[in-house]
Amino acid sequence: MKAFVFPGQGAQFTGMGKELYENEALAHDLFERANDILGWRISDVMFEGSAEDLKQTKVTQPAIFIHSVVLAKCLSECSPESEFRKKAAEAGISGFNPDMVAGHSLGEFSALTAAGALSFEEGLKLVAKRAFAMQKACEIKPSTMAAVLKLEDKVIEDACAEISSKGDAGVVVAANYNSHGQVVISGDIDAVAAAGALLKEKGGRVVPLQVGGAFHSPLMDPARVELAEAIEKAVIVKPVCPVYQNVDALPHTDPEEIKKNLLIQLTNPVKWSYIVEKMVADGADEFIELGPGAVLQGLAKKLAPAETKITGIQ
């Protein structure tokens, strides 16, 4: 069974999607539609912008969404004789024919759109609103994230709870369960530093991340409140296959459940390692990453059985 997966923030790079735009008419049209929907030429920033330009949350999130969804659309609708489809075939990807999908954080919106639960326009509008809301939340209070390696999930959770319970440094939580031995913590700057110091004492390796704020933590609550109305009004229909959502790592097809999980995702952890393992348990023997970078392919190699086929295209 095929699991198509979609990356989140951090996978962006200058030039992302440019080859698609220049060589596939469908991609060209979708990029131009995206520019019209947003009211500014995000394609110019994607193709020519600096790394600093692309790092802004309000740019990064819609850029990755557009790139990922265009890839899925081209796999589904471009001629098998097109240069893109030939390139995909060389990578062992015959088309967009998922048995299940999932996306890491922002990538969940890409997964839902690719699977038909959201239209391209509706998905992009939601992502743009989410990005602006998250950027505003980051500006309300300085915050950060750090990756913690070489420790069990429970050790990291306990350390975050210990620092948060003291109250003087602020709040810190486990935010991204990327793989076993790789968890990202998120919260107030002092609290993340204090938790990092404690986790180093316990034998962990702590790597500060260059991000704009404390994603998937209680500090994103202002963004959750701002996004609530937009998600509630969004037209979400039953996807063509189950979507494994970040908040519970379970497959969903019911539009109301999907909406609820999308909203609470902002302030809750991304359970990516559990998603991959659940997909494998449900029959996935092939993972295909659609979007910039290859982060999710690397994580799948750590989490899935050795014989699992893992590939991707960008």
Could you confirm whether 216 is annotated as catalytic? yes
User: Which among 43, 143, 179, 216 is annotated as catalytic?
Assistant: 216
Residue 19 has phi, psi (to 5 degrees) of -65, -40
d(CA 246, CA 271): 5
User: Which among 43, 68, 105, 143 is annotated as catalytic?
Assistant: 105
Q: Which residues make Cβ contacts (< 8 Å) with residue 182, sequence separation at least 6? A: 147, 148, 149, 299
Annotate 171-182 with three-state secondary structure.
CEEEEEEEECCE
The answer to whether 172 and 269 are in contact (CB under 8 A) is no
Could you confirm whether 105 is annotated as catalytic? yes
Residue 312 has phi, psi (to 5 degrees) of -175, 170
The answer to whether 82 and 22 are in contact (CB under 8 A) is no
d(CA 221, CA 302): 32
Q: Scanning the structure block, which residue is given the tokens 């209680």?
A: 218
DSSP β-bridge partners for residue 82: none
Task: Give the relative orientation of helices 255-265 and 107-114 as an angle to the nearest 10 degrees.
Answer: 160
Residues annotated catalytic, as ranges:
105, 216
